[in-house]
Amino acid sequence: MNAQKPYWDEEMEAALPVLQKLENAGFEAVFVGGCVRDVIAGRPITDVDIATSATPDAVMVLFDRTVPTGLQHGTVTVIVNERTYEVTTYRSEAEYEDHRRPAGVAFIAELEGDLLRRDFTINAMALRADGTLVDLYGGLSDLHAGIIRCVGDADERFSEDALRMVRAVRFASTFGYAIAPSAWRALLRNRELLQHVAMERIGAELDKMIGGAGPHRAAALLAASGLLARAKEPLPAGFAQPGCGSRQRPALRSGRGAGGAGGVPPLSSALARLQGKDDRWAAVFLALRLSPEDAEETLQRLRFPGRRIASARSAVKLHDAAAPLAASSGAAATPAAAAAWVDAVLAAGVETASAWLRITREFAASGAQIGGLPLSEAALDALAAQLAGMPCTAIRELAVNGNILCSHLGLKPGPRTGALLNGLLRSVALRETPNEREALLALAEFMEEDRMNDGPYTS
């Protein structure tokens, strides 16, 4: 920060040549949107967006390296000094179709009109190359007061693009701001329009909320707004309307309306301390007591990638098997509990087991209940120690493989080989047998003999 440019940072300094080049060619160019908001608030800025009076064609002529990323919206990506900048021509969006996208955009010459089309006052400010702030709609005072307020008439803005209602919750929850009463009332009036918005766009906003600084505030605001129950595709009730699920307690509910984004305090701090988004998603599903099927369906409907859906589902599924083992400090110490934990880990995989431990330990440390059972920190520590001490958690880590086993026992490769390998893995994970070739082959022989005699190792 300096006296001439109170709102500035090094990312903007690095992007200055882009503004200057446009200005030298006779156009206007400014930093705009999220980067201006974040630099004023003293937050690190993610990306520097630029708005200009130059048309996309003119931008592409002016810079050596450009990518026509969104020409229909007037956006060209400009690459300067190995950094990329989205340069968007000033535009207005007069008419909207289906409450989700403008019927067409018109390029305009004035910054004022461009700022007017933006969603919230805090997102509708611009910074010129000399550091002057352009704040036509009271964004600075709303930013200082921590208020999410629509530019112009809130009913109009939400009805033009219904996703803005979800964005309001996203900005309020990540920044810890309040939604202006006028915007909140308009949101409640317009919430049915969310049915026009693609599930994928809602999913992307929810993912940013959960990854942000206030996932618990997002949950409280979403519950109070009733927005998710109005989505185009039905989301499981336990997720869309917390408290209504079959096996649910309203753990994430605060019911305190627009500004009161409280949540249950220990739960909220535990959620915010989890680092990964996937851990947070699983934690939310557990706190809401969703079944693995409902967790899966939620993320499927929100168009998450399969890998992320599987990760959340398996953590929620593991909870059913593992939570009873951690419900009291004594339980994990018994041989039966140790065996049950090994079985749960082998079924879920070590990554899921580690994620589940990260989540439940964070919750237990904050004194929050998750999934209906109070978990003991000591028991979770014991499960974590047992996991860390498991010599193997996957068949590929065994000192023998299917071929070795088949040739040693004279078996044909088939389901029996798989069953034997699983039996060996379980025994190694339980530390009953060392992960050594001779010991494993001896155990496999014993298991085969046992099977011939219909013994307990038969599977």
Task: Identify how many contiguous H helices and E strands the chain contains and give both numbers.
Answer: 21, 13
CA neighbor of 83 nearest in space, from 121, 48, 37: 48
Instruction: Tell me which of 161, 278, 279, 297 binds ligand ATP, using CB under 6 A.
Output: 161
Number of Cβ atoms within 10 Å of the Cβ of 139? 26
Give the HSE-up count for residue 114: Cα atoms under 13 Å, Cβ half-sphere: 26
Q: State in angstroms the smallest separation of the CB of 151 from ligand ATP.
A: 8
Classified as helix, coil or strand, 107 is: strand
Instruction: Give, for 15, the enclosing helix (H) or strand (E).
Output: helix 10-24
Residues 4-33 vs ligand ATP: string with x where CB under 6 A? -----------------------------x
Distance CA 209, CA 50 (A): 25
Instruction: Tell me which of 21, 34, 445, 451 binds Mg ion, using CB under 5 A.
Output: 34
Q: Of these partners, ligand ATP, Mg ion, none, which one is at the site of residue 119 (CB under 5 to 8 Å by kind)? A: ligand ATP
Stretch in the footprint of ligand ATP (CB under 6 A) among 139-147, 157-165, 416-424, 427-435 = 157-165
The reply on whether position 163 binds ligand ATP by CB under 6 A is yes
Instruction: Tell me which of 5, 149, 164, 317 binds ligand ATP, using CB under 6 A.
Output: 164
Of residues 34 and 146, the one with the C-beta less far from Mg ion: 34
Extract the tokens encoding 41.
Answer: 């608030």
Instruction: Give, for 49, the enclosing helix (H) or strand (E).
Output: strand 49-52
CA neighbor of 169 nearest in space, from 133, 217, 106: 217
CA neighbor of 311 nearest in space, from 289, 285, 288: 285
Q: State in angstroms the smallest separation of the CB of 115 from ligand ATP.
A: 8
Q: State in angstroms the smallest separation of the CB of 298 from Mg ion.
A: 26
Helices 265-273, 215-225: inter-axial angle, 10-degree rounding: 130
Q: Of these partners, Mg ion, ligand ATP, none, which one is at the site of residue 299 (CB under 5 to 8 Å by kind)? A: none
The reply on whether position 132 binds ligand ATP by CB under 6 A is no
- Residue 78 backbone phi and psi in degrees, to 5: -110, 135
Size of the site for Mg ion (CB under 5 A): 1
Size of the site for ligand ATP (CB under 6 A): 11
Q: State in angstroms the smallest separation of the CB of 112 from ligand ATP.
A: 14
The reply on whether position 301 binds ligand ATP by CB under 6 A is no
Of residues 128 and 426, the one with the C-beta less far from ligand ATP: 128
Residues 79-118 touching ligand ATP, rule: CB under 6 A, are: 118
Q: What is the DSSP string of 281-326?
A: HHHHHHHTT--HHHHHHHHHHTT--HHHHHHHHHHHHHHHHHGGGG
Q: Dihedral sign, CA of 374, 378, 380, 383? A: negative
Of residues 92 and 328, the one with the C-beta less far from ligand ATP: 92
Instruction: Tell me which of 53, 75, 123, 311 binds ligand ATP, using CB under 6 A.
Output: 123
Q: Dihedral sign, CA of 96, 98, 104, 109? A: positive
Name the one residue in this structure whose structure tokens are 């949107």: 33
Q: Of these partners, Mg ion, ligand ATP, none, which one is at the site of residue 459 (CB under 5 to 8 Å by kind)? A: none
Classified as helix, coil or strand, 134 is: strand
Alpha-carbon radius of gyration of the chain: 28
Of residues 34 and 152, the one with the C-beta less far from Mg ion: 34
Q: Which amino acid is at 118?
A: R
Of residues 34 and 243, the one with the C-beta less far from Mg ion: 34
Stretch in the footprint of Mg ion (CB under 5 A) among 32-40, 116-124, 197-205, 342-350 = 32-40
Q: What is the dihedral of CA 43, 44, 45, 46, to 10 degrees?
A: -120
Of residues 208 and 249, the one with the C-beta less far from Mg ion: 208
Residues 335-364 touching ligand ATP, rule: CB under 6 A, are: none
Q: Of these partners, Mg ion, ligand ATP, none, which one is at the site of residue 205 (CB under 5 to 8 Å by kind)? A: none
Of residues 46 and 246, the one with the C-beta less far from ligand ATP: 46
Stretch in the footprint of ligand ATP (CB under 6 A) among 158-166, 184-192, 278-286, 433-441 = 158-166
Q: Are 318 and 348 in contact (CB under 8 A)?
A: yes
* Distance between first and last Cα of the chain: 70
Contacts to Mg ion by CB under 5 A: 34
Contacts to ligand ATP by CB under 6 A: 33-34, 46, 49, 118-119, 123-124, 161, 163-164
